[in-house]
Structure 1
Amino acid sequence: MAERITGYTQLIGLLGTPIAHSLSPTMHNEAFAKLGLDYAYMAFGVGNEQLPDVIKGFRALGLRGFNVTMPNKSLVLDYLDKLSPAAELAGSVNTVVNEDGVLTGHITDGTGYMRALKEEGINVIGEKMTIAGGGGAATAICIQAALDGVKEISIFNKKDKFYPRAEATVEKIRSKTDCKVQLFDVDDQEALRREIADSVIFTNATGVGMKPLEDQCLISDPSMLRPDLVVSDVVYIPKKTKLLEMAEARGCRTINGLGMMLWQGARAFEIWTGKEMPVGYIKELLF
């Protein structure tokens, strides 16, 4: 890294908390080095309170762009100049590019998730999926899945600050796509059992399973998971969450969040640099 940094190096950041666990700096810096691109990527521990000042500073410093992760994916919209159509529909941003002082927000989580499934040979088009979560990642996944042709989505979320957002997501999907979508309280475990029963995939798109919630799981009864069900988790550290351990014990096929992280990152990389990420090299390096 010391040999690559020059007076011309453009900085790209990652804003979120907790953030020290992220593989994004390794992924992007290795990709920059592989292609000989004069960029550097760094992670910054930033929560909602610090976000306005940090973005003001990034704008003043002329950063090429930055990623945004929990808990900032929704709040960041208030400090950007433009949104991509997908980000506007999702009401969430995970990638920002600075073009001559104009900050444009994009969302690549949904495309990353769908590409990860495709790469694993899992077909959800025309099928039903059940997903837990109402935050930025969950919203992006649901909207992209609906746009891509998933037939039915059952969304489960706690009745917390994200529940109204999940309700808004349902209305957007109903008005913009042909996908059938319903919203439930995740504490209604019988409803969760019923909806999983005829789904091809169950996805955890919450932070449950990630530190400091690594000993928790949204599924209360392992019998909800049948052997022919695919169980996925957006969490990738730990690589095997309590949910995925439970699913493996039931004979389910499991997928952690590494694939989604890789493919959402590849799209962000392209937005910033105009180049394709060397995905094969990065996949071999990280996986």
Structure 2
Amino acid sequence: MINDWITGTTTLYGIMGYPVSHSLSPIIHNTAFQHLKITSCYVPWNVFPEKFETALRGAQALGIKGLNITIPHKETALYLCDTVSDEARSIGAVNTIVFSENLIRGYNTDAYGFSQALQTCNIDQINNNILILGAGGGARAVAYALGNLFPESAIFISNRTAEKANKLVEHFNNMFVKKNLFKLVTASDMKTIQFSLVVNTIPTQSEHFDEQLFKRSTGTAIDIAYSINDTPFLSMAKKHQWIISDGLEMLLFQAAQSFKLWTNVDMPTDAVRRALYSYIGRRL
């Protein structure tokens, strides 16, 4: 049990977001700590956006060793860190904090997690058209990963706020060698383009998705969110015979990299995966 590891020398880690009560990260990291017999504990903190800077600096003052950062704080965290990894700076978002030598050090492990999770999908069938739904911190990590994995593709960005999507397009087009690798796509454009990979990064309901997106072709649909049952986005894709995958494996792989940054120890991912899937009642 977790309480067996709470002593006078227990080191503390956690996750800050809003909301965060649904997070499976405590299951992942506490399982890893117990498996490796590391005297540490990982807890979630609900932090309102206007309180995030205070909470982050408070965590540093309390001697907390590291944090994961999730929605809606990933982009804000980038500007509060004393040092930022090259990858986090390129992505424009931080999801992992290491408190070290009185400094707040920022990293991004989401792109790594997404890249590793993508290997479990049928990526051989991905053609030149890829669609990312959303333009927040999660979308930035996905865009960075896809730009590196598929540099000859056309990667389209769709977001309800076109200005935010356009900023993401400009940001990554300035980063990659291929000109216009990233493109802004409108709702009308999406009715004619056939995509072989669609990645949803928006935590929203099915009525916000156009079912026509999945009727014109088949491919792979990925939702970086995770739940016990299929998300509305994945349910719609599955209905039209698309290969589907949620964010559970991405969560696991990004967590493993965060864990290594904090502890310099490899996470026992097989053991953690078994515990995680058992917890949510999903078969391996």
**TM-score, normalization by structure 1:** 0.89
Following the alignment from structure 1 to structure 2, what is the Cα–Cα distance between the partners of residues 278 and 205? 27
Q: Which amino acid aligns with 1:157?
A: N
Partners of 1:222 and 1:246 within 8 A in 2: no
Partners of 1:225 and 1:252 within 8 A in 2: no
Aligned CA RMSD, in angstroms, stands at 1.9
The secondary structure found in structure 1 opposite 2:237 is helix
- 1:124 is displaced (CA, Å) by 7.4
In the alignment, does 2:215 pair up with 1:239? no
Instruction: Name the structure 2 match of 1:157.
Output: 159
Higher relative contact order (CA 8 A, sep 6+): 2
- 1:228 is displaced (CA, Å) by 2.9
Deviations 1:159-194 (A, max 9, x none): 2xxx44432322232222135110134xx1x32233
The secondary structure found in structure 2 opposite 1:50 is helix
The secondary structure found in structure 1 opposite 2:15 is strand
**TM-score, normalization by structure 2:** 0.90
Q: Which amino acid aligns with 2:170?
A: E
Partners of 2:190 and 2:213 within 8 A in 1: no
Q: Unaligned stretches of 5+ in structure 2?
A: 278-284
Question: Taking structure 1 as reference, are residues 124 and 76 closer, same or farther at Cα in structure 2, changes over 3 Å only?
Answer: farther
Instruction: Name the structure 2 match of 1:114.
Output: 115
- 1:243 is displaced (CA, Å) by 1.4
Structure 1 vs Structure 2: percent identity of aligned residues?
A: 29
Instruction: Name the structure 2 match of 1:213.
Output: none
Following the alignment from structure 2 to structure 1, what is the Cα–Cα distance between the partners of residues 102 and 173? 36
In the TM superposition, 1:1-287 aligns within 5 A as: 1-123=2-124, 127-150=128-151, 151-159=153-161, 163-179=162-178, 180-185=181-186, 188=187, 190-195=188-193, 197=194, 199-209=195-205, 216-222=206-212, 224-226=214-216, 228-287=218-277
- 1:119 is displaced (CA, Å) by 2.8
The secondary structure found in structure 1 opposite 2:123 is coil
- 1:149 is displaced (CA, Å) by 3.2
Following the alignment from structure 2 to structure 1, what is the Cα–Cα distance between the partners of residues 146 and 34? 33
Deviations 1:250-279 (A, max 9, x none): 111110111111111111111111111111
Partners of 1:231 and 1:252 within 8 A in 2: yes
Instruction: Name the structure 2 match of 1:212.
Output: none
Q: Which amino acid aligns with 1:206?
A: I
Q: Which amino acid aligns with 1:173?
A: F
The count of residues paired between Structure 1 and Structure 2 equals 273
Following the alignment from structure 2 to structure 1, what is the Cα–Cα distance between the partners of residues 125 and 258? 24
Partners of 1:125 and 1:149 within 8 A in 2: no
Following the alignment from structure 1 to structure 2, what is the Cα–Cα distance between the partners of residues 100 and 124? 47
Q: Which amino acid aligns with 1:149?
A: F
Q: Which amino acid aligns with 1:17?
A: Y
Partners of 1:47 and 1:72 within 8 A in 2: no
Deviations 1:189-225 (A, max 9, x none): x322333x1x22111111114xxxxxx3432234634
- 1:24 is displaced (CA, Å) by 0.3
Following the alignment from structure 2 to structure 1, what is the Cα–Cα distance between the partners of residues 268 and 125? 26
Instruction: Name the structure 1 match of 2:280.
Output: none
Partners of 2:126 and 2:197 within 8 A in 1: no
Question: Taking structure 1 as reference, are residues 257 and 217 closer, same or farther at Cα in structure 2, changes over 3 Å only?
Answer: farther
Following the alignment from structure 1 to structure 2, what is the Cα–Cα distance between the partners of residues 285 and 123? 30
